[in-house]
Amino acid sequence: MAVEDFETGAPTASRFRRSVPDGDTVERNVCRDCGFVAYENPKLVVGSVVRAGSAILLCRRAIEPRRGYWTLPAGYLELGETPEDGARREAFEEAGAEIRLHALLAVYSVPRISQVQLIYRAELAGPFAAGPESLEVRLFEPDELPWSELAFPSVEWALEHEQAVRSGTAPAPFVNPAGETGERFRGRPAGFGPAQPPEPA
C-alpha cells in the first residue's frame, strides 16, 4: 500500500540543492549533506473504471488531498509491477475488490505534477469493502454519479470516456505480446510479412 497520494506530486525536499551532475546536462536535485543525486522521475498512476452491471464503483477518499471526495481506485505503480497488475492491486487495496481487467481506456497526463495516468476498464468480480485509504466505497448508477464531488478532473474525464465507449468497442493500443515480459526476442524471421496472429503463450 502506498501512503503517497496520487495528486500530491511530492515536491523537492529542502535537503536538496539544484545542480548539474557530472556527465549530465540538466539540473538535478543533489543532497546538501551527502551529494546523492535524486533523479526525479514522472510518476505513473494506474487505475480503473470498475463496472458492476450498469453501476460504477467509486471510493470516497480518507486522505488528503481531496479527503471526502469520490475517486477511482487508483494509485502509484510499484517497482516490478506491470500496469495491469498495479491496477488490480489498487482496486484490492482501496476497495477490497477483485476485478477483471479489460482494455486500457485512457492515458492522461498532469504535467504540472509530472504525472501520467493509465486508466483501464474493469468489471467487479466479487464483494467489496473500504480499504484504509477510503472512507466509503459504493456503487453508483449512471444517473446518480457524484459529478460535483469528484476528487480530480481526470476522474471526471474517465467517467465520461468510459460511458462514451460503453456501448461501442473500446479502442485500445497494443500491449506486450502474450506471455512476453520484454526480456527476450521472439526470433522473428527476417523480412516484413503481413501482420500475424499472436503466438500461443
Residues 38-67 that bind a second copy (CB under 8 A): 38-44
Stretch 59-98: interaction string toward Zn ion, x if CB under 5 A: ----------------------------------------
**Around 157, how many Cα atoms within 13 Å sit in the side-chain half-sphere?**
13
Candidates 57-65, 94-102, 122-130, 186-194: pick the segment binding a second copy (CB under 8 A).
186-194
- Tell me the C-alpha to C-alpha distance, in Å, between residue 162 and each of 103, 120, 170: 11, 9, 9
Work out which of 64, 68, 114, 179 binds a second copy, going by CB under 8 A. Answer: 114
Position 44, amino acid = L
For residues 60 and 154, which CB has a smaller minimum distance to a second copy in the complex?
A: 154
For 171-189, letters b (16+ CB in 10 Å) and e give: eeeeeeeeeeeeeeeeeee
Q: Which of residues 27-46 bind Zn ion (CB under 5 A)?
A: 31, 33-34, 36
Contacts (Cβ under 8 Å, ≥6 apart) of 180: 186
Of the candidates 127, 129, 178, 190, which one interacts with a second copy according to CB under 8 A?
A: 190
Size of the site for Zn ion (CB under 5 A): 4
Asked if 75 and 69 count as a contact pair (C-beta separation under 8 A), the reply is no
Question: Is residue 11 a contact residue for a second copy (CB under 8 A)?
Answer: no
CB 9 within 8 A of CB 43: yes
Q: Point out which span in 57-65, 94-102, 123-131, 185-193 binds a second copy (CB under 8 A).
A: 185-193
